[in-house]
Amino acid sequence: MMKIEKKDKSMLFSTTEIPDVFFTEYMSEANGDYVKVYLCILFLSKYDKDIKLNDLSKRLNISINIIQSALAFWEEHGLLTKKVNGYILNNIQEIELNKLYSPNLALSPEDIKKNANDQYRAKAIECINNMYFQGIMSPTWYSDIDLWFKKYGFDEQVMISLFDYCFNKSALHKNYVKTVAEAWSKNNIKTYEDLELYYQKFEKLNKIKKSIAKKLGRYSPLTQFEEAYIEKWVIDFNYDLNIINIALKKTTSKANPSFDYLDKLITDWHDKNLKTESDVTNYLSELKQKKKNIKQLEKQTNYNNYEQRNYDDLDNLYANKKKV
């Protein structure tokens, strides 16, 4: 049994009102079932009634496990506050107002536009608003974008590209945008030229991953650890597919070639400061010739030892004959 309460218990209207900020700030992060659960709770909260999870499950045709996950999701985002006997439905406008006027986010959208570093930054923010929010971007986005400009040092084109990337991924919510921004920052992206180089490297890396998987006969996705190996070879060692192919060819005699084996080969080449395909092929040719020379030497040594033993046997034979 849980009880849903609402801070504002006004019964003046029979409609269930949903603030616009719910659509601009929260709905994009929640899946459909979570939204259904929230809307139902919002509706029921007007009547201050108790409701069992089982009844809510039947009413929405959603499993109890999903309902519990939905409640945890909205609690994590601050829209619900858990009590001993149920939940309090928090006021979304108050939540966003507190975010907007907290000490770290003290500027209004208008202030940020006026106090942006220059007119280009203000234009970039407005461009993001018009292109990806249909001109109705939530006020807290203005503050976040301004903070991201300062934190990550992106230029205006990079910031617009960040929102374009997330928009095309159908993931235009703050957690995802921030995650991508962190990843770009770790790759030292500041300017649009940096971003283009990153995309080229990323595209090259993906092609190499697909090629390696195909050559190894892997039809299931590579694991996180296997991808990490490839990223080390390509990004850290700066090796192209031609060098990696040499290592792959050396696995043909193995039934189940592992990435550990490939990594030992490629890391050894890197440790020996072999930088190009010709460096590797020359090294392997020299290594092969050394092995061949060693085998010939061993063969010659064994032959000499065999001849020497024959001479010794003849000497013994002659010595025995003399005694007779």
| 276 pLDDT more than 90 | yes
CA end-to-end span of the chain = 116
Specify the residue for token string 């002659």: 318
Q: Which fold has domain 195-271?
A: Arc Repressor Mutant, subunit A (1.10.10)
| 14 pLDDT more than 80 | no
Q: Which residue has the higher pLDDT, 64 or 256?
A: 64
Residue-level pLDDT at 208: 92
Q: Which fold has domain 2-97?
A: Arc Repressor Mutant, subunit A (1.10.10)
| 104 pLDDT more than 70 | no
Separation in Å, CA 206 to CA 11, 44, 124, 129, 209:
57, 49, 30, 32, 5
Write the pLDDT tens digit of every residue in 205-264.
889 999 998 888 888 888 888 989 998 998 889 899 999 999 998 877 666 678 998 999
The region that residue 274 occupies, defined by phi over 0 for left and psi between -120 and 50 for alpha, beta otherwise, is beta
Pairing verdict, β 2-6 and 50-51: antiparallel
Task: Tell me how many helices (H) and strands (E) the chain has.
Answer: 15, 4
Residue-level pLDDT at 191: 94
Instruction: Return the DSSP state at 272.
Output: T
